[in-house]
Amino acid sequence: MTRNWATIDFSSASDCVSTKLLKFLLPPIWFKVLDDVRTKTVLIGQVRHSLPCFATMGNSTTFPLETLVFWSLAVAVDSMNRSPFSSLVEYESLGSCSVFGDDCLVRTHLADRFISICESCGFIVNKEKSFTKVDCDFRESCGADYKSFRNVRPFYIRRPRSNKPSVVKAWLYTLWNGILKKYILCFGSLRYIYHDRVLRYLATLIHATGEVFLVADHDPDDSGIKFMGDYLRVKRLFPHDTRFSPLRADRHGTFTYRKLISVPMEKGTNFDELEYWYSIKHRASSCNSFHVLSTFLRSERSFQVLKRDRGYVVANGLDTTGAFAMIL
């Protein structure tokens, strides 16, 4: 609201956290421990290459390390005009920056200096997605777009992965829960959804998929309907003959309910089907490459493939927070 904070965005931030930078910034014992658990080289063909990038995405230390690096640089920029002998109380009360991964918030008057420091350390600032001007009321950080203190990022609708009934059902759940979150974000509550035509239309589509699963708010969006603290109001949007999944509670206050969970891709042996496909495709071909490949496949006797888009299955969920108490 005050525009006193700037949001800084980076490109390929984790790839730019170099080994030399961390060796300079980290205490020696920290650097040694972290350096011992990282991948230092990669073999390409017969040539081994050293990796100047300290940790790639997927490494458990990457995210906290880049958070710590950016936060340290931001605090250092803010402390340049302060006494190096500040007390602990003064240090903890700085409150001059906030960092989550490579999403950085610094005070507007320090933004240019912070960007300069980061670029000198090898980082690439995405200036098109960084907002540092006092006369600009737009800010972007952590997946949200703010215009005059209001999140204006639109709700993106992506198509289902496949046309399987379970996948489409989970996709409808995702739409429903995403729209409800937008309502709460914009209006502060669900009191505006009584006569919402979009939600009523979605409710009829979900109703047509069969049993409707009610899930806790902490479950994934594709697992079922989240009532988000107002079950009766949400339920009124559905046709009167909608069959909701049962909820059960034991004497310890643990609630059991049904939900959808995605079945991950799994590896399987598909040798016969693969060879049959090749035999059909190349039956009239005189290309020798097929015979070589066919011989190779027969000699292997197996071929590992990934079975994709296997859909969703129904599983039991547990909730001990008492979120379902209002329903029962």
What pLDDT is attached to residue 189? Answer: 67
* Domain endpoint, select from 103, 119, 151: 151
Together in a domain, 293 and 239: no
* Domain containing residue 287: 266-307
pLDDT band (50, 70, 90) for residue 278: low
Together in a domain, 231 and 109: no
Together in a domain, 97 and 183: no
* 184-230 confidence digits (pLDDT tens): 777 776 666 656 788 889 999 999 999 999 998 889 999 999 887 77
Mean pLDDT throughout 306-310? 60
Together in a domain, 137 and 224: no
Question: Cα(298)–Cα(258) distance, rounded to whole angstroms?
Answer: 45
| Position with higher pLDDT, 291 vs 256 | 256
Domains of the chain: total: 3
Together in a domain, 102 and 135: yes
Contact 259, 223 (CB under 8 A): yes
Together in a domain, 142 and 20: yes
pTM of this structure:
0.61
* 282-302 confidence digits (pLDDT tens): 654 444 444 444 444 444 445
Question: Cα(307)–Cα(167) distance, rounded to whole angstroms?
Answer: 15
Together in a domain, 79 and 41: yes
Which H or E run contains 10? strand 10-11
* 66-87 confidence digits (pLDDT tens): 999 999 999 888 877 665 555 5
Between the CA atoms of 30, 33, 39 and 41, what dihedral angle is there, to the nearest 10 degrees? Answer: 90
User: What is the full DSSP assignment across 34-54?
Assistant: HHHTS--EEEETTEEEE--BS
* 155-170 confidence digits (pLDDT tens): 888 888 888 899 999 9
Cβ neighbours of residue 172 under 8 Å, at least 6 residues apart? Answer: 202, 205, 206, 209
